[in-house]
Structures are given as structure tokens and as C-alpha cells.
């Protein structure tokens, strides 16, 4: 067991965790923040993406103990009063069907827009499709997800 402390969505949290507890288990089962999803056991689907110290991370690939001291943001933490521009863009463009992949798509989308802006690069359709390689959607065919991220990139 390890004692960990971190900030999740701006709030200090912590506790004793088993050394093999995954960050996604800590988020979902200990903190009860169930917007972060688990869609695979092979680290492929991206439904579990959160931000750790400002970077997108598949939370099923990280131990909770490894996030000790980190600033974590989950899908529950991205709206600030009003919807985040990425959430609004998914709503405007029908960027989801069943919604299972959507939290991870939104967290990955925010991360890619922030990275491209910081590097002064253009996030065009080809770049969005390339960046989405780690996020699987079983419903939409991706077209409206790409449109959503493209809209948000212009507004963020």
C-alpha cells in the first residue's frame, strides 16, 4: 500500500492505495468519478483518457501511486460553469452516438488542440485523424468527431 495525494478537478484528494491500483480505478472506484470509462484491457481504446499535469494520459496505463502529487483533470472537470468549447462542439456537430468513447475523445481533443496551438502548428483534418489513432469509436465512423474537434480548435 502507498499513501497518495493529488489534485483532481481542482480538489485535493488522497488515500491509501494498493501498489497495483490503476489510476483509472482510483478515479472511478475510489473517487466515484465515473465519466472516465474503461473500454478495453489492452490500452487501445482511449475511453479512459484524463489529463495528468496538463497532458493526455490513458489512465488504465498508469498506476495511481505514480500520479502522487499530480494535477489530474477528468471529464467532470473540464466545464467551467458553461460547457467547454470542445463539449459544445461535440454537441453542435453530433460528434457522438452511444457516447461511450466521448469522454476520452473530448480529453484527447482538448490535449491535441492545446499542443498544436503551443507549437504553432495547424490542426487540420489529417492531423486530427492521425492524433485520434489512440481513441476508438465503435459508432460514429469518426467524421463528426473530426468536425467537432476542428470546430473547437477554432474556438479554444
Q: What's the rounded Cα separation, in Å, for the pair 145 and 106?
A: 9
Binding region for ligand FES (CB under 6 A) out of 73-81, 99-107, 109-117, 125-133? 99-107
140 lines the binding site for ligand FES (CB under 6 A): yes
Among 17, 39, 111, 147, binds ligand FES (CB under 6 A): 39
Gyration radius of the chain over CA positions: 15
User: In whole angstroms, what separates CA 86 from the centre of its chain?
Assistant: 11
50 lines the binding site for ligand FES (CB under 6 A): no
Task: Give whichever of 83 and 139 is closer to ligand FES, judged by the CB atom.
Answer: 139
Task: Give whichever of 41 and 119 is closer to ligand FES, judged by the CB atom.
Answer: 41
Task: Give whichever of 20 and 80 is closer to ligand FES, judged by the CB atom.
Answer: 20
Q: What's the rounded Cα separation, in Å, for the pair 117 and 140?
A: 27
96 lines the binding site for ligand FES (CB under 6 A): yes
Secondary structure E strands in the chain? 2-8, 11-17, 49-52, 55-58, 71-73
44 lines the binding site for ligand FES (CB under 6 A): yes
CB 155 within 8 A of CB 112: no
Residues that bind ligand FES (CB under 6 A): 38-40, 43-48, 58, 60, 96-101, 137-140
Amino acid at each position: 500500500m502507498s499513501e497518495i495525494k493529488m489534485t483532481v478537478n481542482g480538489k485535493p484528494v488522497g488515500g491509501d492505495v494498493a501498489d497495483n491500483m490503476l489510476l483509472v480505478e482510483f478515479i472511478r472506484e475510489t473517487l466515484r468519478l465515473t465519466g472516465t470509462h474503461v473500454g478495453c484491457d489492452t490500452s487501445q481504446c482511449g475511453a479512459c483518457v484524463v489529463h495528468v499535469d496538463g497532458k493526455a494520459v490513458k489512465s488504465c496505463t498508469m498506476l495511481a501511486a505514480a500520479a502522487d502529487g499530480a494535477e489530474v483533470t477528468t471529464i467532470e472537470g473540464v466545464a467551467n460553469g458553461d460547457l467547454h468549447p470542445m463539449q459544445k462542439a461535440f454537441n453542435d456537430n453530433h460528434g457522438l452516438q452511444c457516447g461511450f468513447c466521448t469522454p476520452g475523445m473530448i480529453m484527447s481533443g482538448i490535449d491535441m488542440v492545446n499542443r498544436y496551438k503551443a507549437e504553432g502548428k495547424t490542426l487540420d483534418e489529417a492531423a486530427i485523424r492521425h492524433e485520434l489513432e489512440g481513441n476508438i469509436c465503435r459508432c460514429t465512423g469518426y467524421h463528426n468527431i473530426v468536425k467537432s474537434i476542428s470546430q473547437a480548435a477554432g474556438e479554444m
